[in-house]
Structure 1
Amino acid sequence: SGVDLAQFRRWYEQAGTPKVTVTMALEGTTLTLTLTQSMAPTPGQMVKQPMVIPLRTALFDRTTGTHRGEELLVLTQAEQTFTFEGFDALPVLSINRGFSAPVEVVAPVTTDDLVFLARHDDDPFARYEAMQQLIVRYLVGAVAGTLENREASRDAIGAAMGAILDDAALDDLMRGELLILPGEAYLAEQLTCADPTRIFAEREGLKRWLGETLLAKWLSLHDRCSAVPYSLDAAARGARKCKTQALVYLAATDPAEAAARAKAQYDAATNMTDRQGALMVLCSLDCPERESALADFHARFEGNMLVIDKWFSLQAGSLNPKVTEHVKALSQHADFTMTNPNRVRALWMAYAANAQGFHREGGEGYRLIADLILKLDPINGNVAARFVPPLGRWKKVDEARAALMRAELERIAAAPSLSRDVREQVTKSLEA
């Protein structure tokens, strides 16, 4: 082809993720896109050379909801300008479609643009990214206290999600992905100092509002997908994904209805996806259906170590407000043993990743994990060391929680005869 590919070697030679910043300007009917690439310095590479960054791009007409064809923009310099003719108004930019380059894109995309892309973009990756950005902006702003118009921002998310639920041309596998809210851990990473309780409250609050606002659509989605017979084809797999997502939103707004539907889904399940999805929802609720489903699941799969591991982790990772009490009880269960690393991880790692339990006011979650480390270390130091990093994230949380987490790390450090693995992790965590 005559193309010199030598510059592509920099993807292997330079560390870090490139950032591409986009600006748009319209003069007359000429649209100008200016792309600038940069990479943060890393040890031994303080100055980075420009990479080859291929970016699949489409420019959507705001009125028709269509674009005139996808174009491949290849960025090879620190800054490049691309021009397009025939635009009467600024289009909506869809860039890095199909994740054509592993880069971070910073583009002038408004909330209205994100709603537009979440509703109309014909590229699955770009549509998913738009929906995630829309929700992340809202939740991060709400947690940080920088959200200017909560109601309008929330309404925008509702409009986009409603359109996704109504889109008959959208396959359910993609629909199921678009309906998932960003995780609490990811949201925490977007904040300089995270308040886990506030993140949990805002995320659950949005879920509850979406459940209430789109209640009829969630009920309809669950009914439709429940009628799809089991199969390994894409349509059936998508239906299984969507009906559990529908239950998630129903549980946030109408627990009784969700419990009844989840139990019916559990009882009718002919596959693990449906059964596990229903049980996950029931674990987060306080209802008789929860206890009967958990008892049935345990009896049904008793002796299957991997499935019983899932039984433990579903309960430890649940949204149930009594999750800490449940985990303490499970640690005394006849099937729990400290000598089985998979079983220990199934219960306690799920709990350490559960912000509602682990970051519980007063620091009980931190004490439980520290106690676990001290008890597990003489048995399996390598596994015990893997539970230190959750406590080591003390610099990312508010001062009160940080002090409690550091205190537990110091308590572990003061213990005699720590294994090398645990001591190394604790020392690094305290020095962080």
Structure 2
Amino acid sequence: PATPGQPDKLPMPIPLRVAVHSRSTGALGAEQLIVLTDAQQSFTLPLAGPDPVVSINRGFTAPVVIDRALVREDLVFLAAQDDDPFARSEALQELAVSHLVGTASGELSVDEMAAGEAAIIGAFRSSLADAALDDAMRGELMVLPSENYLFEVMATGDRLADPGAIHAAREGLKAAIGAALADDVLALHARASAVTLDDPAGRGARKVKTAALVLIAAADPARAATLAAQQYDAADNMTDRQGALMVLCGLDCPEREDRLAAFYDRYQHNPLVVDKWFTLQALSLHPDVIAQVRELAKHPDFTMKNPNRVRSLHMAFAGNPKGFHAANGEGYRMVADVILALDPINPQTAARFVPSLGRWRRIEPVRAALMKGELERIAAAGNLSRDTFEQVSRSLDG
């Protein structure tokens, strides 16, 4: 679009590193650099063999989004065998998004869901076994698309997002991966746990350690509770300690309460770390997360007069798809109560909570009605600040 001083924009060159692999033989193609300078261009690239599959924007050579339509077989090949880590990660994310959105929307048959799940498990297995990958990249390949991102993809065109179905699909896939690859994931966690803090490989090891715990927790919560408690107790750095506590926060086990208490006792005089303590609990997958957030709001260290503390607890909860989108509407009601209580104290922060309820038009009808009802309750309260009133009015009027 035109901007001041630049009414006519010239095309911007886009450099892309590409390679053409062979899906049927598994041969990997030689990498080439192409530069896009026109609206339409054609290039001749060397083939590695039959059934060509294009690996594009390798190494993230250009900060662009590639809009492509690859069949599942091509994505499976790239996600499992591409020799470029970035292109491999992109393929795995596309594969997972397609499967999870298709599952959540009911657009996939039972056979298609089973095939998609098997393909993703196969890609994860390849990532865990590939000795050419460093652990920092392996950790990226072990993370599924977030529920918030899946929401945005699902709520396109005339299709409405179903947060409950998205959560069930994603957690189901995590559990399937964790169960199918249990031995591999446990071995990875054990190997990463043996890496010392001063080892150059330590950063990647810490990343895969927590990623492994997440998968184990989805498939075997009791085993995960034991391992996470051990990781917490042995931690000599905040990354390991916080990663273990994050996993424990989502589990209903004695280890959870013990380590939460230990973390608070250790850092209670550090406000920034206490903020993180609140946030970890507000974002958790625990079945009683709403009740836990209500109790945390009564904690002596919580006050509505501290914006950072409000964000660490209530704003974090508003970003927790599982709790916020509870089917009975309790999450929406709690956030609406926060807006009404906070508005007289800090109207700017209160107004920032409203957009989380304002997405009701993009959600399936039952939750949409509950979200709209809470917005109407806020609007009817009267004496709203200008900031909050404008946000609520805009959300209701569209």
| SS of match in other structure, 1:146 | coil
Alpha carbons of 1:138 and 1:363: their partners in 2 closer, same or farther (altered >3 Å)?
Answer: same
2:270 partner letter: N
Closer/same/farther in 2, CA of residues 80 and 277 from structure 1, 3 Å limit: same
1:267 to 2:233 alignment: yes
Residue 205 (1) aligns with residue 168 (2): no
Instruction: Please name the residue that 1:101 is paired with.
Output: 62
Q: Does 1:70 align with 2:31?
A: yes
User: Is the CA contact 2:136–2:204 (under 8 Å) kept in the aligned structure 1?
Assistant: yes
Partner residue, 2:123: 160
1:127 matches 2:94: no
Tell me the residue number matched to 1:407: 373
Deviation at 1:399, TM superposition (A): 1.1
* Structure 2 spans left out of the alignment, 5+ residues: none
Deviations 1:133-158 (A, max 9, x none): 11111101101111241111111001
Q: Distance in 2 between matches of 1:411 and 1:165?
A: 50
Contact 2:20 2:47 in 1 (8 A): no
- Which one has the bigger helix percentage? 2
Taking structure 1 as reference, are residues 87 and 286 closer, same or farther at Cα in structure 2, changes over 3 Å only?
A: closer
**Residue 380 in 1 paired to residue 342 in 2?**
no
- 1:181 is aligned to 2:144: yes
List aligned pairs for 1:242-281, cutoff 5 A.
Answer: 242-281=208-247
Counterpart residue number, 1:221:
188
1:86 and 1:253, CA in 2 relative to 1: closer, same or farther beyond 3 A?
Answer: closer
| Number of residue equivalences | 390
Task: Find 1:61's aligned residue among 18, 22, 29.
Answer: 22
Q: Structure 2 length normalisation: TM-score?
A: 0.93
The CA RMSD measured in Å over matched residues stands at: 1.9
Q: Which amino acid aligns with 1:152?
A: A
Query: Are the aligned partners of 2:249 and 2:286 in contact in 1 as well (CA < 8 Å)?
Result: yes
1:283 deviates by 0.5
Q: Deviations over 1:43-85 (max 9, x none)?
A: xx9x997553322211113355443422222222222222235
Does structure 2 conserve the Cα–Cα contact (< 8 Å) formed by 1:139 and 1:203?
yes
Q: How far 1:298 moved relative to its partner? A: 0.6
1:145 and 2:106 are equivalent in the alignment: yes
| Aligned residue number for residue 361 of structure 2 | 395
Say which SS state the counterpart of residue 170 (structure 2) adopts: helix
Matches within 5 A, 1:192-341: 192=155, 193-231=160-198, 233=200, 235-341=201-307
User: Are the counterparts in 1 of residues 175 and 215 from structure 2 also a CA contact under 8 Å?
Assistant: yes
Structure 1 SS opposite 2:66 = strand
Of Structure 1 and Structure 2, which has the larger fraction of its residues in strand? 1
Residue 413 of structure 1 and its aligned partner are, at CA, apart by: 1.6
**Alpha-carbon distance in structure 1 between the residues aligned to 2:21 and 2:48:** 10
Tell me, yes or no, if the aligned pair for 1:141 and 1:147 is still in contact at 8 Å: yes
Which structure has the bigger radius of gyration? 1
Which stretch shifts more, 69-78 or 58-67?
A: 58-67
Q: Are the counterparts in 2 of residues 316 and 348 from structure 1 also a CA contact under 8 Å?
A: yes
Answering whether residue 329 of structure 2 is matched by residue 368 of structure 1, we say: no
The one-character-per-residue Cα deviations of 1:227-256 (angstroms, maximum 9, x if unpaired) are: 1111273x1111111111111111111111
Letter matched to residue 225 of structure 1: A
Is contact 1:55–1:72 with CA below 8 Å preserved after alignment?
Answer: yes
Identity %: 57
Q: Distance in 2 between matches of 1:86 and 1:350?
A: 49
Indicate conservation of the 8 Å contact 2:21/2:49, yes or no.
no
Question: Please, what TM-score do these two structures have when normalized by structure 1?
Answer: 0.86
Deviation at 1:105, TM superposition (A): 1.9
Deviation larger for 110-119 or 355-364: 110-119
Letter in 2 for 1:117: L
Change (3 A) 1:267 1:53: same
Q: CA deviation at 1:180?
A: 0.5
